[in-house]
């Protein structure tokens, strides 16, 4: 399937600069651009690639200023990265989706399957499960009793959703995701052992949530662990029982969020972040990679970094001092040596 520069510009409301009849059939990175492909430039760091790129069409921001001649046809848009995402979504949708129920699927008689669903081989769907319209469930996934899955949701191979959990519309769960496993609840006993506390709640995932491969979200002790609308979670993230993640928050890989913590709206959490339990993170908080958050963050829109985490401006000052510590140590050692010498002379 091919599209001309003018067709693409009309779709993304851009302005063509160059040959509006040039056609493309696939995508490429700007540094690897080939004829017949569409690329993009949004980060000034990569500006130098545009002059040698062989891509047929390149999306650029409206404010991009060329320093020399560019071979490709440009399409100027408000946000090149966002426009690329829109085009890639269009192509993905055009490729179609599977439909039908495999005869190898195990579906309980009391389950309700919506219109135009795809259910792959060796999928298990338990009692009283409700599957919405246009849902895709790929092979070897396990949907336990009383689960609800909303319309247009995609569940890839090897996903496990425990009993009574709820997924909204237009969600994507990648392979290996586990929703609703027991929260880590154990009561210490007098003899030093631990008694398991039954986890009686569930997990509620709202609309437009995407969850990366091998991420786990535990069911609550009571009530619900809640992932709000539009949350995007990377691979290998652990979200503990009774956590709430606010709308449009993004969480990068290998982050762990301890029980009963409340994450605000539109937060950005970097990779390998550790967040303590029973705290609150304010709306719009940004947390740098490998940070440790032991206490609540109450002020909205702040950047925190480090372990234990501190405001970003303070972290940069501390980091600058840390780099100088070897020299500072030598200076202090030399001063101490001179003080000792003076003390010895005074004794004489």
Task: Enumerate the β-bridge partners of residue 311.
Answer: 304
pLDDT at site 332: 94
Q: Which of 124, 134, 174, 241 is catalytic?
A: 241
Q: Which of 73, 94, 115 is the last residue of a domain?
A: 94
Tens digits of per-residue pLDDT, 30-78?
Answer: 999 999 999 999 999 999 999 999 999 999 999 999 999 999 999 999 9
pLDDT at site 347: 81
Q: What is the mean pLDDT of the chain?
A: 95
Helix, strand or coil, per DSSP, at residue 341: helix
Residue 264 sits in the same domain as residue 332: no
Whole-model pTM over 0.75: yes
Q: At what angle do helices 80-94 and 5-12 cross, to 10 degrees?
A: 110
Say which residue, 2 or 303, is predicted with more confidence: 303
Q: How far is CA 68 from CA 16, 33, 34, 55, in A?
A: 18, 18, 20, 16
Residue 166 sits in the same domain as residue 193: yes
Q: Which of 79, 94, 109 is the last residue of a domain?
A: 94
pLDDT above 80 (res 348) = no
Tens digits of per-residue pLDDT, 226-265?
Answer: 999 999 999 999 999 999 999 999 999 999 999 999 999 9
Query: Residue 106's pLDDT band (boundaries 50, 70, 90)?
Result: very high
The structural domain count of the chain equals 3
pLDDT at site 91: 86
Q: Quick one: average pLDDT of 103-114?
A: 98
Burial class (CB in 10 A: 0-12, 13-18, 19+), 1: exposed
Tens digits of per-residue pLDDT, 203-232?
Answer: 999 999 999 999 999 999 999 999 999 999
Residue 206 sits in the same domain as residue 289: yes
SS3 for 272-309 is CCEECCCCEECCCCEECCCCEECCCECCCCCEEECCCC
Query: Residue 109's pLDDT band (boundaries 50, 70, 90)?
Result: very high
Residue 291 lies inside a defined structural domain of this protein: yes
Q: Which two tokens stand for residue 6?
A: 């003018």
Provide the domain limits for residue 323: 319-348
pLDDT above 90 (res 93) = no
Residue 246 sits in the same domain as residue 327: no
Residue 300 sits in the same domain as residue 324: no
| HSE value, Cβ hemisphere, 13 Å, CA-based, for 111 | 21
CATH label of the domain that carries residue 58: 3.40.1390.10
Told to judge if 25 belongs to the known catalytic residues of this protein, a careful annotator would answer: no
Of 114-128, 144-158, 283-297, 322-336, minimum mean pLDDT range? 322-336
Residue 234 sits in the same domain as residue 192: yes
pLDDT at site 164: 98
Residue 190 sits in the same domain as residue 298: yes
Of 95-99, 107-111, 173-177, 208-212, minimum mean pLDDT range? 95-99
pLDDT above 80 (res 1) = no
- Neighbour-count burial for 312-348, b at 16+ CB within 10 Å, e otherwise: beebeeeeeeeeeeeeeeeeeeeeeeeeeeeeeeeee
pLDDT above 90 (res 344) = no
* Residue % of the chain over a pLDDT of 70: 100
Residue 223 sits in the same domain as residue 287: yes
Is the N-terminal amide bond of 195 cis, ω within 30° of 0? no
Query: Residue 173's pLDDT band (boundaries 50, 70, 90)?
Result: very high
Q: Quick one: average pLDDT of 163-192?
A: 96
pLDDT at site 97: 83
Residue 107 lies inside a defined structural domain of this protein: no
CA–CA gap between residue 188 and residue 194 (Å, rounded): 4
CA–CA gap between residue 46 and residue 40 (Å, rounded): 10
The three-point CA angle 237-244-303 to 5° equals 70
pLDDT at site 346: 86
């Amino acid at each position: 399937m091919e599209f001309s520069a003018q067709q693409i510009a009309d779709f993304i409301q851009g302005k063509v600069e160059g040959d509006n009849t040039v056609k493309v059939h696939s995508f490429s990175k700007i540094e690897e651009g080939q004829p017949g492909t569409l690329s993009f430039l949004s980060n000034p760091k990569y500006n130098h690639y545009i002059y040698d790129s062989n891509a047929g069409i390149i999306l650029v921001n409206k404010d991009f200023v060329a320093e020399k001649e560019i071979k490709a046809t440009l399409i100027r848009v408000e946000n090149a990265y966002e426009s690329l995402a829109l085009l890639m979504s269009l192509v993905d949708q055009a490729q179609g989706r599977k439909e039908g129920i495999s005869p190898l699927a195990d579906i309980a008689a009391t389950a309700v399957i919506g219109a135009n669903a795809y259910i792959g081989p060796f999928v298990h769907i338990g009692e009283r499960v409700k599957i919405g319209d246009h849902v895709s469930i790929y092979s070897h996934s396990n949907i336990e009793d009383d689960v609800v899955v909303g319309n247009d949701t995609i569940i890839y191979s090897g996903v496990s959703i425990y009993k009574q959990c709820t997924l909204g519309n237009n969600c994507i769960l990648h392979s290996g995701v586990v929703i609703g496993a027991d929260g880590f609840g154990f009561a210490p006993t007098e003899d030093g052992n631990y008694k398991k506390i039954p986890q009686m709640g569930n997990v509620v995932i709202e609309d437009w949530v995407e969850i990366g491969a091998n991420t786990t979200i535990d069911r609550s002790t009571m009530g619900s662990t809640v992932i709000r609308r539009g949350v995007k979670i990377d691979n290998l993230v652990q979200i503990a029982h009774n956590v709430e993640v606010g709308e449009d928050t993004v969480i990068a890989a290998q982050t762990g969020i301890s029980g009963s913590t409340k994450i605000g709206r539109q937060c950005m959490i970097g990779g390998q972040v550790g967040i303590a339990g029973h705290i609150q993170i304010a709306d719009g908080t940004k947390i740098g990679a490998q940070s440790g958050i032991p206490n609540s963050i109450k002020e909205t829109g702040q950047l925190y970094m480090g372990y234990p985490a501190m405001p970003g401006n303070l972290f940069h000052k501390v980091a600058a001092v840390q780099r100088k510590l070897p020299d500072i140590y030598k200076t202090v050692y030399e001063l101490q040596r001179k003080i000792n010498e003076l003390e010895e002379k005074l004794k004489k």
